[in-house]
Structure 1
């Protein structure tokens, strides 16, 4: 089933161009399990090989789609509130305990938490929910989401461009091999992002302990 979905999503990118990228990245940034690794890299490959799209256009479309999906999730979470998410969240892999941890995380790391979450797989599509529930300012949420998404889409686009140079343009793109290739080459990037995140959160924790000391 996953293999068929990958083929379908890849077809959207090939046939719909920027619109396909926007729709799929909007899904990826909400509760739908669309891997960005099968959206941006093939779009970048198509941009380099066919001229139907530009690399900058792919990055902009991916960033806009990420913001759109995140914004929809943010407003849904803000409007329906915690009780509804508590009741129905488990059907979307968001049990109450995970939601509570996410809320505590957002209260403590607000701006930095949103920014770094946009760079990390899996966390990306969940962070908008606690942001909406705690009523984080939408302008701030949007700015951090756009910057983080732009960085991630640029990384994936560059990886796609690099991978595309080693592909035979006469052969169709195999989505399974594409995802495998992207993940294989993105480990270093993800590792660096994780290291920066760890340093940031350790710094926040140490500074909070310092602030708690009596004068």
Structure 2
């Protein structure tokens, strides 16, 4: 199915995104599809899935997820954990969570439940989805015929990516804290 298979495979994610994107990279290696378009369709597919989950959280709420989440391969305990992170750390969790298995999908639900601004949600999700797609399409392309070994070959890349995401998130938190302190200082000066 080419590009549409990538998009559909990631929007539905019955097969893990790492495998879909690595296989897309293999197709790039074989010259059957274009690298940039594979990453683009991968990013769009990831975003479609996140938008669906966001709106499930927004309109279905926690009750819907507790009742039907098992059909989406989302366990209540993962939503609980993600919800706590989301409440504690805010929007930055949406970006950082994209690099953590299982939590990657679950974070969109509490974002919807908490009525996070959809533009901000798409922004953080989009950047992380682009990086995720870029990484695994590139790895699949570089592995060529050995694309099936993606799990062992990706580990050295996903760890630094996760650490980088966490560092960016910490920077985001520090920035927010400094802005809040500055605002409070300005209020007390008057």
TM above 0.5: yes
Q: For residue 102 of structure 1, what is the aligned residue in structure 2?
A: 82
- Greater relative contact order: 1 or 2 (C-alpha under 8 angstroms, separation 6 or more)? 2
2:25 to 25, 28, 44: 44
Shift in CA distance, 122/141, structure 1 to aligned 2, threshold 3 Å:
same
| Residue aligned with 1:102, SS | helix
Shift in CA distance, 85/37, structure 1 to aligned 2, threshold 3 Å:
closer
Shift in CA distance, 202/54, structure 1 to aligned 2, threshold 3 Å:
closer
1:182 to 145, 150, 153: 150
- Once residues 38 and 90 of structure 1 are traced to their aligned partners in structure 2, the CA distance between those partners, rounded to angstroms, is 22
TM-score normalised according to structure 2 size: 0.81
- Once residues 99 and 37 of structure 1 are traced to their aligned partners in structure 2, the CA distance between those partners, rounded to angstroms, is 21
| Residue aligned with 2:163, SS | helix
Provide structure 1 residue ranges, at least 5 long, that are not aligned to the other structure: 1-15, 168-176
TM-aligned CA deviation for residue 86 of structure 1 = 3.0
Tell whether the 8 Å contact from 1:119 to 1:151 is kept in structure 2 after alignment.
no
- Once residues 158 and 135 of structure 2 are traced to their aligned partners in structure 1, the CA distance between those partners, rounded to angstroms, is 10
Choose between structure 1 and 2: higher helix proportion.
2
**What do the CA deviations read for 1:136-164 (whole angstroms, capped 9, x no partner)?**
11111111111100001001011011111
Q: Is 2:135 the counterpart of 1:155?
A: yes
**How well do the aligned residues superpose, as a CA RMSD in angstroms?**
2.6
- Once residues 155 and 93 of structure 1 are traced to their aligned partners in structure 2, the CA distance between those partners, rounded to angstroms, is 24
- Once residues 201 and 67 of structure 1 are traced to their aligned partners in structure 2, the CA distance between those partners, rounded to angstroms, is 20
Q: For residue 23 of structure 1, what is the aligned residue in structure 2?
A: 8
Tell whether the 8 Å contact from 2:29 to 2:142 is kept in structure 1 after alignment.
no
TM-aligned CA deviation for residue 20 of structure 1 = 0.3
TM-score normalised according to structure 1 size: 0.72
TM-aligned CA deviation for residue 119 of structure 1 = 2.3
Report the count of equivalent residues. 177
Tell whether the 8 Å contact from 1:120 to 1:190 is kept in structure 2 after alignment.
no
Q: For residue 195 of structure 1, what is the aligned residue in structure 2?
A: 163
